[in-house]
Amino acid sequence: MVAGGGLLLVAGRHDDHGQGQGGLHHHPLHGRRGLSKCGFQYVDSTGATLTFHFVGTYCGWVAKTADNYGKAAVTVDGGEAATVDLYSKNTMWRHLVWQTKGLAFGDHIVKISCTGKKRRAAKGTCIDVDALQIAGTLQ
């Protein structure tokens, strides 16, 4: 974890703060140019989910986007799912792909799930988590 600028940046690694379910793969790409820290988590299994809990007012999801990436569903506190498309023609690193807006201070649970869906041009359905930006405390 790296603190700075009032945000807590949690590098994409599986630790006690996030619980992965169903096919989560860790890439320990030490020194890999473009990543926020030392690696990232990716999945390509429909239904695979990363769930985390934080107390605060903001959460941002930082990810790699690429031509073999698909769509994710993101929920906050069990609300309506937002669809996030991680496809890009060219690979982009450290891209803020989703963020909360107008979140009241308090306990929040965020779930990021692989939908197994993709746009027609995408070569695959992978999704990843490089880092999380948190204004508050990750639980």
SS3 category, 34 = coil
pTM: 0.78
Residues 126, 1 contacting (CB under 8 angstroms): no
List, in order, residues 6 or more apart from 24 with CB less than 8 Å away.
14, 41, 42, 43, 48, 50
The pLDDT assigned to 34 comes to 55
The DSSP 8-state label assigned to residue 37 in this structure reads S
Residue 65 has pLDDT above 70, yes or no: yes
pLDDT tens for 109-130 read 999 999 999 999 999 999 988 8
The structural domains of the chain, with segments of one domain joined by +, span 2-138
Architecture of domain 2-138: Sandwich (2.60)
Closest to 45 (Cα-Cα) out of 66, 24, 65: 24
Ranges 13-27, 32-46, 102-116: which has the least confidence: 13-27
Distance, in Å, from the CA atom of 129 to the CA atom of 108, rounded to the nearest integer, reads 18
